[in-house]
A and B are shown apart, each in its own frame.
Chain A
Amino acid sequence: MRSSSLARAVRLGVSSLLLHKLRSFLTTLGVLFGVASVIAMLAVGEGASAEAQDQIRRLGSRNVILRSVKPPQVGDEDAEMRVLSYGLTRDDFERISETFPGVEQSVPVLQTPAEVRSGQLLCRPRVLCTPHLFQSVTRRDLFSGRFLTEQDEASRSLVCVLGYEVARFLFPFDTALGERVKVGEHYLEVVGVLHSRIPVGTVTLDPSSEAGGEVFMPLSTGRAYFGERQTQMRSGSMDIQEVQLHEIIVAAERDIDVPVIAAACRSMLKREHDEKDYEVIVPLELLARAEETKRIFNIVLGSIAGISLLVGGIGIMNVMLATVTERTREIGIRRALGAKRKHIVTQFLVETMVLSGAGGVVGVGVGLLIPWIVERTAELETIVEPAAPIFAFGISVLVGIVFGLYPAWRAANMDPVEALRHE
């Protein structure tokens, strides 16, 4: 009985609203756009933050990354030749790996600015000289072959592992395994290819770019054949930099060790370095910051969506007040024929909810369409949480209740005699 009377109330509400199709449609637009924007903004926001978090996670959430940074230029810019010595030192690395508690592994990385060629093809990837631990600490997946081994490190083997983009670029038609590439002045044998950091298939990166191209060789090989001096020719002058280590990746045993290690690294580096020629990157902190950013983003989006729903709700209330006045006589008739106040309240409340709920349903549709279009046209990742449409629809119904109460209350409290006399 209860459910059927509700079904009847909804049916009646719909047929009342259909008497004024255009007006009802226009009234729902406010809620429609409100709901659509809630879903669309949430989807785009979630997508963006998921992408950011993913990138940070790829750095390794248990890692602390120390990087050498070239200090602000001092001295004569026009000097023909100078040696600039800065950055992390082997001593720094020793201290961290031998004395820091909670460190599972620490991996030194030396970078050398060599060109990489195979036949006519040439690119400028990041050439990283690093021990075999690098792969497990950074959780990089192998595409084919093998990564560097302890053996390579011990025997200063002339081997290298290519990043996927570099392998594709240098050997577009063939497997790179077993081939030789020329790094700087030396020939190295390719023993493996690492998976791209970017999911394969979406964007093919230029192997010369920072993110795209990577070539790995044993640290001992790098030191022996390429040294710690990086020479770059720059518009007539030679620029020589001396950096012992470009990067130290410190992996903590547990998540809770990360902040301790980060603090220890900071204070140690501050003590040992006169200049700030290093930076400390803590992915976990970045993650926390990204989460905070996302929270603020959500609050801002939420307020915008809330305002549009508020405006939509006020529009609905306005129309419902007009409807109540217009239908004063009908209210009088219903009251005379036995309708209690609660019946009148229900009638108008249901009508308002049908109005806002219809806006909600169409809004959900539009709201799901927008991320779909965005994903296809802007190549932005979007994530529609399953709860988002339900949440948005629920809000639209809630708007109907909140903004329908006053008009319904007005309708129910009309004097039946006055209402019947109303023309």
Chain B
Amino acid sequence: MESAQPKAGEVTSTPEPVAELSEITRMYRMGEEEVLALDGFSFTFRKGEYWAIMGSSGSGKSTLLNILGCVDRPTGGSYRVRGHEVADLDDDELSTFRGAELGFIFQSYNLIPQLDVLENILMPVMYQDEVPEGIQERALGLAKRVGLGDRLHHRPMQLSGGQQQRVAIARSLINDPALILADEATGNLDSKTADEILELFDELHAEGKTILLVTHEAEVGRRAENILRLKDGNIESVERGAKRHGEAADAQ
């Protein structure tokens, strides 16, 4: 995997693609009926971009997120992450790939209750075949970074919702992933805490991380740089933010 990327990347004119989807379809079979959750979806997310993916329920945004997160496989089409074709990987390779290249943030935090803060942050590392040097220090650094430097050995049950989500964010960053996938990351939080989390996302964005935030709240969506709206399994509209306005729609 390509490693060393600029931590605080100043955005070049056409950044390299991180996630390339072309002609993705995902079909579900519900009894006799076949439901097309994604219908020939093509899009390219580039390095350093911050996208909000929006749409009503049934628009296919959850399916898209599952496919982006490599927990689900498309029925057809091609999905490349940092140039790797994901469809070619077997279950074990895909698992390792998820842990190494993707950072997950969930609505309900999804920390492991029997592990403390530090262990939860280190979770994705434990399942990698090789443990990188200095990973403990990196985990400590991330815990401090999200403001939990003094709660390293608390269990998730001893933390507030906002704190738990911070642990989840630190966890998503531990392997320096290509893509951070946040699924309704603020959905369970009150507006003040949600705001703090969104500020954290802004900081990560400023550092050059690629963030995809799935939400149905317009309020939250507006905080992102760009907005991708889905409808009936395909793109409804693409709104690019001020900074990147008018830049390449050529990816499509």
Contacts and interface: CB of A to CB of B under 8 A. Distances in A.
Interface of A: 1, 5, 8, 12, 15-16, 19, 329-330, 333-343, 416-417, 420
A16 B97 CA distance: 27
Interface in B82-138: 91-92, 95-100, 104, 106, 110, 112-115, 123-124, 126-128, 131
Nearest to A8: B126
A8 B125 CA distance: 13
9 contacts: A8-B126, A15-B115, A19-B114, A336-B71, A337-B98, A338-B99, A339-B127, A341-B91, A417-B72
A333 B110 contact: yes
Interface of B: 66, 69, 71-72, 91-92, 95-100, 104, 106, 110, 112-115, 123-124, 126-128, 131, 171
Nearest to B110: A333
B66 A417 contact: yes
A339 B95 contact: yes
A422 to B, nearest CB: 11
B66 A340 contact: no
Contacts of A335: 71, 95, 98
Contacts of B99: 337-339
Given A15-B114, A330-B112, A417-B71, A337 B171 contact: yes
Contact of A337 (B66, B113, B114, B124): B124
Contacts of A1: 131
Contacts of A341: 91-92, 95
Contact of B71 (A12, A342, A343, A420): A420
A337 B22 CA distance: 25
Q: Top 4 A-B pairs ranked by shortest CB distance? A: A338-B99, A338-B127, A416-B71, A340-B95
A293 to B, nearest CB: 52
Contacts of A338: 95-100, 124, 127-128
Q: Which of A329, A342, A420 has the most CB of B within 10 A?
A: A420
A393 to B, nearest CB: 26
Contacts of A416: 71-72
A337 B96 contact: no
A340 B114 contact: no
A361 to B, nearest CB: 22
A308 B124 CA distance: 41
Contacts of A8: 126
Nearest to B128: A338
A333 B112 contact: yes
Given A416-B71, A417-B71, A340 B110 contact: no
Contacts of B72: 416-417
Contact of A19 (B97, B113, B128): B113
B113 A340 contact: no
A385 B97 CA distance: 52
Contacts of B98: 335-338
B28 to A, nearest CB: 11
Contacts of A342: 92
B7 to A, nearest CB: 23
Contacts of B66: 417
Contacts of A15: 114-115
A101 B5 CA distance: 98
Nearest to A416: B71
Q: Which of A330, A335, A337, A341 has the most CB of B within 10 A?
A: A337
